[in-house]
Amino acid sequence: MEVSVIGKCQAKIAGADFFDRELGFFNSKVDSKILLSKICFMRGSRCERSRIRLSTKSVQMEPVQSQNVDVGRRSKSLEGVKLYVGLPLDAVSPCNAGNHSRAIAAGLKALKLLGVEGVELPVWWGIVENKTMGKYEWSGYLALAEMVRNADLKLHVSFCFHASKQPRIPLPEWVSKIGESKPNVYFTDRCRQQYKDCLSLSVDNLPVLNGKTPIQVYREFCESFKSSFSKFFDCTISGISMSLGPDGELRYPSQRQLESHGVGEFQCYDENMLSILKQHAKASGNPLYGLGGPHDAPSYKETPNSNNFFKDLDGSWESHYGDFFLSWYSAELIAHGDRLLSLASSVFHNTKASIHGKVPLMHSWYKTRSHPSELTAGYYNTSNRDGYEAVAEMFARNSSKMILPGMDLSDQLHPQELLSSPESLIAQIKSASRKHGVILSGQNSSNLEAPRNFDRIKKNLEGESVELFTYQRMGAYFFSPEHFPSFAEFVRSVHQLELHSDDLPVDGEEEDTAETPCTSPVSEAQMQAA
């Protein structure tokens, strides 16, 4: 299917009132006009195409059919909210070459015309420092940064010190080799299964990486980036996100299976975590508490009542031991976040880039008293204890902004039996952030099966605490006729743009033609995954 995007824009040359934009769709087989550029992402092994053509000059105007978007007058509380779009996770290939480069360049022009502020770029440790410690290859990312600057957009960089499953981007090869001989550098569950997509927080300050600590290695990576991208910090790079754990989030890898609705498991069984726990228990006068994690906790896929620990009535989580363990477990996670955000703040303190860190939205079982999904992920948040106060205080201490995902989720979309409440959890995190003066940056979920809920996003953007929203993620689905009109209308509704008389096309305008060929095949899921 080939679809073209057409529209009208107005601009004051060398002026500030830049883009007013209305987008529409038409069937290119019916219209004889040839537009300026074409965005083309390959989809699937049979190279099915999803194309979008965009023009900076209007050849035809058709109204956008609003889908699940309220286009009424924008609330004043949305004024100043900056909109970003995430670039594909595999925008740079494992061999450090650009993927979909010409398609991305055309897409950047489209986003600029819509009035989007900038884009978010994942920068993978496993690509930049893959073969040898201390040897960095930035060429693919430098080319993308140049492309973003040429499009007159801002760039938010996300450092990914973790691996990705889809698309598959592993940790650096030299780190994986160390992990083969030293498996305790990884998080471990009670069945001694390692999680190999990021390093355990227990080794942050241990010289396990060829005589250096992970914190030292992360710092050198950041310093190399700062030096290599120095020319982009004045006007292009607006923010830096630090990877804080699995999928970049500040949490333990408590959920090992995708789409699992169980409570998850505690991740405290590598030798270094057990050693820290043992020392802490001894220092507190309870040496028997340091033998391991809770023996009566359910397994990954089980429900809270499958065992005794998370039960609402007389669960072990409310015992003296339960409080001891959960306090220690969450404190170790917060200390890890503190180390990494402090590192980023010290490296980039003399630049204009703001520092960000991402927290998870572990909303399953939120309506129970124990909140087990949050507890296993490292958040000591229960019906009688606010676990996000200490997290927000840590972000504030490091002058860092908090990224909150899942801002498109609503309670009604989740099965009642899971006792889930993303809306309540988002409200709680926003409250803790406001209390400690932490500015929020929102993201939507990247689940392709979830319905777009732009009204829910707009509602969550209300309030002074949310400064920026990043929509995830550019790719074949993002630019598809099933999705792009709704996104364009969402951007317009947030900005509340007005049409002007000079938006009308000029008679006799002609278009230049430039076609972007499709790049190497990549699945829609790869383009969209978070």
Q: Is the pLDDT of residue 22 over 70?
A: no
- The pLDDT tens digits for 402-441 are 999 999 999 988 888 889 999 999 999 999 999 999 999 9
Which residue range(s) make up the domain with 473? Answer: 82-254+337-363+383-495
- The pLDDT tens digits for 350-397 are 999 999 999 999 999 999 999 999 999 999 999 999 999 999 999 999
pLDDT band at 472 (very low <50, low <70, confident <90, very high): very high
Identify the pLDDT of residue 329.
Answer: 98
Provide mean pLDDT across the span 223-245.
97
Provide mean pLDDT across the span 251-275.
91
Identify the pLDDT of residue 29.
Answer: 34
Q: Is the pLDDT of residue 507 over 70?
A: no
Bigger pLDDT: 281 vs 58: 281
Q: Is the pLDDT of residue 518 over 70?
A: no
Distances (CA, A) of 266 to 2, 183, 524: 48, 18, 33
Residue 73 inside a domain? The answer is no
Identify the pLDDT of residue 448.
Answer: 55
Residue 455 inside a domain? The answer is yes
Residue 222 inside a domain? The answer is yes
Q: How many domains does the chain fold into? A: 1
Residue 301 inside a domain? The answer is no
User: Among residues 272, 248, 270, 267, which one has the least CA distance to residue 256?
Assistant: 267
Identify the pLDDT of residue 258.
Answer: 62
- Torsion on CA atoms 448, 449, 453, 458, rounded to nearest 10: -40
Contact 142/501 with Cβ under 8 angstroms?
no
Tell me how far apart the alpha carbons of residues 95 and 107 are, in angstroms, rounded to a whole number. Answer: 23
pTM of the model: 0.83
- The pLDDT tens digits for 121-140 are 999 999 999 999 999 999 99
- The pLDDT tens digits for 328-339 are 999 999 999 999
Provide mean pLDDT across the span 152-167.
96
- The pLDDT tens digits for 446-469 are 655 455 689 899 989 887 778 999
Contact 242/249 with Cβ under 8 angstroms?
no
Identify the pLDDT of residue 414.
Answer: 82
Identify the pLDDT of residue 493.
Answer: 86
Peptide bond into 473 cis (omega under 30): yes
Residue 318 pairs in a beta bridge with: none
Tell me how far apart the alpha carbons of residues 373 and 182 are, in angstroms, rounded to a whole number. Answer: 29
The 10 Å CB-count burial string (b at 16+, else e) for 419-450 is: bbbbbebbebbbebbeebebbbbbbbbbbeee
- The pLDDT tens digits for 282-327 are 999 999 999 999 999 999 999 999 999 999 999 999 999 999 999 9
Residue 482 inside a domain? The answer is yes
CATH of the domain at 175: 3.20.20.80
9 three-state secondary structure: strand
Average pLDDT of every residue of the chain: 83
pLDDT band at 70 (very low <50, low <70, confident <90, very high): very low
The DSSP-derived string for 248-297 is: GBSS-----STT--S-------SHHHHHHHHHHHHHTT-GGGGG-S-TT-
Identify the pLDDT of residue 84.
Answer: 97
Bigger pLDDT: 195 vs 75: 195
Residue 350 inside a domain? The answer is yes
